[in-house]
Structure 1
Amino acid sequence: MSFKNKVAIVTGAGQGIGFEICKELASEGSKIILNDLDPELTNSAVAEINKLNEGSCTGMAGDSGDIAFIRKMVAFAIEKFGRVDIVIANAGITLFGDFFTYPPESFFKIMQVNLAGSFFLAQAAAVQMRLQQSGGSILFTSSVTGHQAHKNLAAYGMSKAALEMLAKNLVIELSQYRINVNTIAPGATLTERTLEDPDYQNTWSRITPMGRPASVSDIAGAALFLVSDKAKHITGQNLIIDGGWTSVSVSPE
Structure 2
Amino acid sequence: MDKITKGRFIGKTAIITGAGQGIGFEIAHQLAAEGATVLLNDIDEALTAHAATRINAVGRCLPCPGDSGDLAFIEGIVDRAVTETGTLDIVIANAGITLFGDFLSYAPESFHKVMAVNLGGTFFLAQAAAKQLIRQGRGGSLLFTSSVTGHQAHKDLAAYGMSKAALEMLAKNLVVELSPYGINVNTVAPGATLTERTAADAAYAATWASITPMGRAARPDDIAAAALFLVGDSARHITGQTLIVDGGWTTVSPSPY
TM-score class normalised by the smaller sequence: over 0.9
Structure 1 unaligned regions, length at least 5: none
Q: Which residue of 1 aligns with 2:130?
A: 126
Match 1:199 to one of 167, 180, 203: 203
Q: Which residue of 2 aligns with 1:11?
A: 17
Alignment TM-score, normalising by the size of structure 1: 0.98
Number of paired residues?
Answer: 251
Using the TM superposition, give the Cα deviation of residue 52 of structure 1 relative to its aligned residue in structure 2, in angstroms.
Answer: 2.4
CA–CA distance in 2 between the matches of 1:117 and 1:23? 22
What is the CA RMSD across the aligned residues, in angstroms?
0.7
CA–CA distance in 1 between the matches of 2:186 and 2:57? 31
CA–CA distance in 2 between the matches of 1:80 and 1:91? 22
Q: Which residue of 2 aligns with 1:29?
A: 35
Using the TM superposition, give the Cα deviation of residue 2 of structure 1 relative to its aligned residue in structure 2, in angstroms.
Answer: 2.7
Q: Which residue of 1 aligns with 2:55?
A: 49
Runs of 4+ in 1 over 6 A off after TM superposition: none
Query: Does residue 104 in structure 1 map to residue 108 in structure 2?
Result: yes
Using the TM superposition, give the Cα deviation of residue 168 of structure 1 relative to its aligned residue in structure 2, in angstroms.
Answer: 0.2
Q: Which residue of 1 aligns with 2:4?
A: none
Q: Which residue of 1 aligns with 2:241?
A: 237
Alignment TM-score, normalising by the size of structure 2: 0.97
CA–CA distance in 2 between the matches of 1:144 and 1:174? 25
Q: Deviations over 1:44-78 (max 9, x none)?
A: 0000011222xx10000001111111111111111
Structure 2 unaligned regions, length at least 5: 1-6
Query: Does residue 224 in structure 1 map to residue 228 in structure 2?
Result: yes
Using the TM superposition, give the Cα deviation of residue 82 of structure 1 relative to its aligned residue in structure 2, in angstroms.
Answer: 1.4
What is the one-letter code of the residue matched to 2:145?
Answer: T
Query: Secondary structure, in 3 states, of the residue corresponding to 1:4?
Result: coil
Query: Does residue 252 in structure 1 map to residue 256 in structure 2?
Result: yes
CA–CA distance in 1 between the matches of 2:107 and 2:198? 24
Q: Deviations over 1:122-153 (max 9, x none)?
A: 00000000011101000000000000000110
Query: Secondary structure, in 3 states, of the residue corresponding to 1:79?
Result: helix
Identity of aligned residues (%): 67
Query: Secondary structure, in 3 states, of the residue corresponding to 2:240?
Result: coil
Deviates more, 1:62-71 or 1:204-213: 62-71
What is the one-letter code of the residue matched to 1:177?
Answer: Y
CA–CA distance in 2 between the matches of 1:16 and 1:141? 13
